[in-house]
Chains A and B, each alone.
Chain A
Amino acid sequence: MIPTSWFLVLAAMLFAIGTIGALTRRNGITIFLSIELMLNSVNLLFVGYSRLLGDPTGRVMVFFVLAVAAAEAAIGLALFIAIYRHRHTIDLDRINLLRW
């Protein structure tokens, strides 16, 4: 029997790792991956609490988070492709002007 709080702490650590990635990387896709990592850590939290409180609502939320993450990934990557066509780079340090 593993105490559920271990899973919750693991989720917190994953969230922190994702945040570091989102703050320090320059490559747009890697930042995107770090955000997905954060989303997944939240999923783990949801399932952990669903287990702790005996409420299946947590798992329903995971279902929705999964679907929304899919939609967001599709649009985000389409945006990256469109940006790449114009700027030929995904390096976010170079795409920092809205218009010139």
Chain B
Amino acid sequence: MSIAVFAIFAVLTLAFAIVVVAHPDPVKSTMSMVVVLFCLAVHFVLLGAPFVATLQVLLYTGAILVLFLFVIMLLNLQREHVPATQGVTQRWVALLGASFFAGFLGMLLWQAQGSALEEPLTEGFTSIRGLAEILFTDYLLPFEMVGLLLLVAVVAAAMLARQLGPPGDTAEEERR
């Protein structure tokens, strides 16, 4: 039963990841990314991390990708117009390189099966409490630093995206 779930969601993940990478319209790419992240959350649940899966949907799909969509809509980005003859070599080289890399890495990771114990999922393993205990004792400093990092990011983003001077400034610069 869980193999069927894994198979369906693995196929969905890969299919929509290819759409993200290949579709010329950035809005469709972002919506496909939403599907990919949701399928990844399902994979997290299958791997015994339901809390991480919930956080993934809450933060990544629910906030970060909304930000992406906002920016695309704000800038009114259109579909990419790339003539089919341009960059063919680049695409083939990228495809070959990435396939080699995936094949090599996949082979390495495949050998991980059977070499370590895979115990059935216990309540202690999947609990939020275990995660919290480690997070707030061993990893307290990185936790606080991440908080500071987010504050810096908010201030920096607000500063970078603001308009210098009254709106219409860039039009004046162009005329000059």
**Touch A–B, Cβ below 8 Å:** yes
Residues of A within 8 A of B (CB): 1-21, 23-27, 29-30, 32-34, 36-37, 40, 43-44, 47-48, 50-54, 56-57, 59-60, 62-64, 66-75, 77-82, 84-86, 90-91
Contact A14 B43 (CB under 8 A): no
Given the known interface contacts A12-B106, A54-B125, the answer about A81 and B26 at a Cβ–Cβ threshold of 8 Å is no
Check B52–A59 contact: CB distance below 8 A. Answer: yes
Closest partner residue, chain B, to A23 (CB atom) = B94
Q: Which residues of B contact A57 (CB under 8 A)?
A: 134
**Interface pair B106/A67, CB less than 8 Å apart:** no
Interface SS of A by simple majority: helix
Q: Do A6 and B6 contact each other (CB < 8 Å), given the known contacts A75-B157, A79-B160?
A: yes
- Closest Cβ of chain A to B38, distance in Å, is 11
**Residues of chain A with a CB closer than 8 A to B156's CB:** 74-75, 78
Chain A residues whose CB sits within 8 angstroms of the CB of B60 once the complex forms: 40, 66, 69-70
Contact across chains for B94 and A27 when beta carbons are under 8 A apart: no
Q: Are the CB atoms of B21 and A25 closer together than 8 Å?
A: yes
Q: Which of B51, B72, B116, B142 contacts A52 (CB 8 A)?
A: B116
Q: Which residues of B contact A (CB under 8 A)?
A: 2-3, 6, 10, 13-14, 17-18, 20-22, 26, 29-30, 33, 36-37, 40, 43-44, 46-49, 51-52, 55-56, 59-60, 63-64, 67-68, 71-72, 74-75, 77, 80, 82, 87, 90-91, 94-95, 97-99, 101-102, 105-106, 109-113, 116-120, 125, 130-131, 134-135, 139, 142, 146, 149-150, 152-154, 156-161, 163, 170
Name the one of A18, A27, A30, A74 contacting B157, with C-beta atoms under 8 angstroms: A74
Query: Are B75 and A60 in touch, CB under 8 angstroms?
Result: no
Contact of B68 among A29, A40, A90 (CB under 8 A): A29
A34 CA to B36 CA, complexed, in Å:
12
Please state if A78 and B160 are interface contacts (CB–CB under 8 Å): yes
Also in contact, A29 and B72, with CB within 8 A (given A64-B142, A74-B153, A81-B161): yes
